[in-house]
Amino acid sequence: MAKTRHIRLRPSDSAPRNDSPKASPSQESLRPQHLFDGWEKVAHRARRARHIVLFLDFDGTLVRLRHKPKEVFLGEATRTVLRNLVRRKRVTLCFISGRQLNDLQLRARVEGAIYFGLHGWERNTGQPPDLPGTRQLRKCMRWVQRQVREIPGIRVEDKGICFGVHYRGARKPAVEKASAIVKEALTGLGPGFGLLAGKKIWEIYPNDMGNKGKAAKDLLQQIPGRKLVFYAGDDTTDETAFALLRNSVTIRVGRFRETKANFYVKGPAEILIFLKKLEEALS
């Protein structure tokens, strides 16, 4: 059984994920270049590419983060440029998010795109297999729900095969209380489960669920021929993809302490500019 001292749980946007791939010395996080400063070379690569695969995270990347995730929908300007891109035969668009698949599809609504929910586990290209330990995990979730019920600003989200504990907007004492509860829950579950620490959320999930990096690689193996890959994301959960997609155009969105992405932009507004620039480069 896992011991509490091995679990690092921090109320921080840079909290670690325990299944992230270990970086070699050549993969150490470096300060990336702003995407628009290097755009001329990127656009040249895009024009020459036979096929482009565009991976996009949703919350914090295409849309701003909000306290109430159910109020978030893709902006019409962003949807329009994505629809224009996906109509091109040499462009494959994939949304990849921590949201559940149905919720992601409802809020993006771009026809012809591929959708990966739950960090790549749920896919509109096929149903995922059942995971062991689901009953145990759901029992754990109900226990956590009871423990945090009276803690202001803490919310538990049921995601089916995993669950999240949100603390966006909670004060420090509440976050510390919730952190201790999540530690205890993870310890009780044992070695078959892991902790995914994202922006203002902790998620407990089965280790077999995988991550965004693995999901991106799986899709790329299904697309024949040479291709140029773009991947944009704003969270620590996207770092698994940045670490694996070393020869791609990887873009960290928003504030960060360190990243394995080779470019960055300031937020969703600059992602929209990037998408328009990409559309122009392919015209």
- Alpha carbon distance 105, 97 (integer Å): 10
Pair 213, 241: CB distance under 8 Å: yes
For residue 130, what pLDDT is reported? 66
165 close to 144: Cβ distance less than 8 angstroms: yes
Question: Please, are residues 196 and 16 in contact by the beta-carbon 8 Å criterion?
Answer: no
Give the domain 4-15+132-209 fold.
Alpha-Beta Plaits (3.30.70)
CATH topology of domain 25-128+210-282: Rossmann fold (3.40.50)
pTM: 0.82
Backbone torsions φ then ψ of 143, nearest 5 degrees: -65, -45
pLDDT of residue 88: 97
User: Domain map of the chain by residue range?
Assistant: 4-15+132-209, 25-128+210-282
Distance CA 144, CA 188 (A): 12
Q: What is the pLDDT of residue 2?
A: 37
Contact between residue 3 and residue 223 where contact means Cβ atoms under 8 Å apart: no
Structure-block tokens of residue 182: 């999540």
Lay out the sheet containing 201-206: strands in order across.
155-158, 163-166, 201-206, 193-198
User: What stretches in the chain show pLDDT beneath 50?
Assistant: 1-8, 10-27
